[in-house]
Amino acid sequence: MFISVIIAAGGRGVRFGGGVPKQLLDVAGRPVLERSVDAFLMHPEIDEIVVALPADLAADPPPYLRATAKTVRVVPGGARRQDSVFNAFQAVNADTDVVVIHDAARPFASAGLISRTIAAAIESGAALAAIPARDTVKRAGPVSDEAGEPAMRFVGETLSRESIYLAQTPQAFRREILREALALGNAGGTDVTDEATLAERAGHPVRLVEGEATNIKLTMADDLTVATAIARRQSGLPARTGRAGTGYDLHRLVPNRPLVLGGVTIPSDVGALGHSDADVVCHAITDAVLGAVGLGDIGSHFPDDDARWKDANSLDLLARAVDLVAGLGYEVGNVDVTVILERPKIRGHVDAMRASLAAVLGIEVSRVSVKGKTNEGVDAVGRGEAIAAHAVALLRSRS
């Protein structure tokens, strides 16, 4: 029995968003496509794999599709999923008895699921993995407003969920059945979302095989979070965790010193007094980042009695702190800083500060918040004799 697998990876993942095809996205350290292909490369019943990729990727496929223990062929996909599968079918071995079709965007098909689907196809001709509907199923009735445009939707009828199954892949077919089904789809006028539908329309019964809840398909961006959790659990790794830290810094304000905040020099007749450039924003964030993983504070790493840090750029100190936590397997998720200063006002410099900090933290500007407050004339800060900053940093594990 010769068994071929077609991996449908010819799409661009438009619904997923982003500039990278979803099948190439990283899930817990490995691309989605690599995970999907490996499930079949490691399966003892599979003899060869044909992968349908977008034309530009097919011309230069990723390394994990080149040097493999089993035969892996790469073909250009088509405009539709069924076109990609049709192209791949033309490349399967002439001795193929059963063809298994699998979505590249389902990276967690188990060996047991693959075996069950193949066995059912050998016995019944066509089979697909599916899971029963768990929720009550409603069919929406068509409703239009007076202008004929879609308006509010209402329930048309409630369906019995006992008869409702949600289709997955793998789907498997005896070769001659799939040939007939694909010919129907290639004849024009038939646009479907899976090959089982074509087999049904060609008059072949399709057997349901018990699917798996973890055999998810990455369709929307939020699915990536679920996929990462599944991958980590299957690898025996703990769930991705976060750590939070807080930071605080205060410096006197004196004449003839630059006022540097978040790496940006603010026009001012006074500046912060300190061993380094006395950037209270960077110092508070550095304390928050270090504190989140229990690494002490800025003074323990960059003491003010060490000449190396005399007049140091505090962005550099912050970068060193980010490197330290990266060595422990963490990265910065977001930071929030409040600067307490009577004058000058910093509102016009906030965007520059956020961009400067984001570049050092290695995150998007949207994950950096900087706010300015006064102390309403109270104490040394309120009298304009000092500046202070509070910061919160959220770190997340990198693996």
Tokens for 80? 């539709």
Residue 329 in this model has a pLDDT that exceeds 90: no
Give 74's strand partners. Answer: 51
Spell 114-128 as b/e; 16+ CB within 10 A means b: bebbbbbbeebbbbb
Q: Sorting pLDDT into bands at 50, 70 and 90, what band is 151?
A: low
Q: Sorting pLDDT into bands at 50, 70 and 90, what band is 18?
A: low
Number of neighbouring beta carbons within 10 Å of residue 94: 6
Residue 389 in this model has a pLDDT that exceeds 90: yes
DSSP for 181-197? Answer: HHHHHHTSS---SSHHH
Q: How far apart are CA 13 and CA 6, in angstroms?
A: 18
Q: Are 118 and 100 in contact (CB under 8 A)?
A: yes
In the block, tokens 């410096």 appear at 251
Q: Are 136 and 158 in contact (CB under 8 A)?
A: yes
Q: How far apart are CA 351 and CA 175, in angstroms?
A: 61
Q: In what order do the strands lie in the sheet with 48-53?
A: 71-76, 48-53, 3-8, 98-103, 165-174, 126-132, 207-210
What pLDDT digit, counting tens, does each position of 101-140 carry? 999 999 999 999 999 999 999 999 999 999 999 999 999 9
Residue 148 in this model has a pLDDT that exceeds 80: no
Residue 365 in this model has a pLDDT that exceeds 90: yes
Residue 306 in this model has a pLDDT that exceeds 90: no
Put residue 376 in one of left, alpha, beta given phi > 0 → left and psi -120 to 50 → alpha.
left
Q: Are 128 and 171 in contact (CB under 8 A)?
A: yes
DSSP for 292-341? Answer: HTT---HHHHS-TT-GGGTT--HHHHHHHHHHHHHTTTEEEEEEEEEEE-
Distances, alpha carbon 159 to alpha carbons 129, 136, 164, 213, 378, in Å: 21, 8, 8, 22, 67
- Residue 391: which of 243, 249, 284 has the closest Cα? 284
φ, ψ (nearest 5 deg) of residue 172: -130, 145
Global confidence as pTM: 0.63
Q: Sorting pLDDT into bands at 50, 70 and 90, what band is 335?
A: very high
User: What pLDDT score does 233 carry?
Assistant: 83
Which ranges in the chain belong to alpha helices (H)?
32-41, 55-59, 81-89, 111-124, 175-186, 195-201, 223-234, 280-292, 298-301, 314-326, 350-361, 379-382
User: What pLDDT score does 224 carry?
Assistant: 87
Q: How far apart are CA 177 and CA 255, in angstroms?
A: 85
- Domains, the chain, ranges and CATH? 3-135+161-234 (3.90.550.10), 242-397 (3.30.1330.50)
Residue 390 in this model has a pLDDT that exceeds 90: yes
In the block, tokens 């905040």 appear at 261
Q: Sorting pLDDT into bands at 50, 70 and 90, what band is 253?
A: very high
Give 339's strand partners. Answer: 372, 389
**Lowest mean pLDDT segment, chosen from 225-234, 259-268, 387-396:** 225-234
Q: Is 262 helix (H, G, I), strand (E, B) or coil?
A: coil
User: What pLDDT score does 270 carry?
Assistant: 96
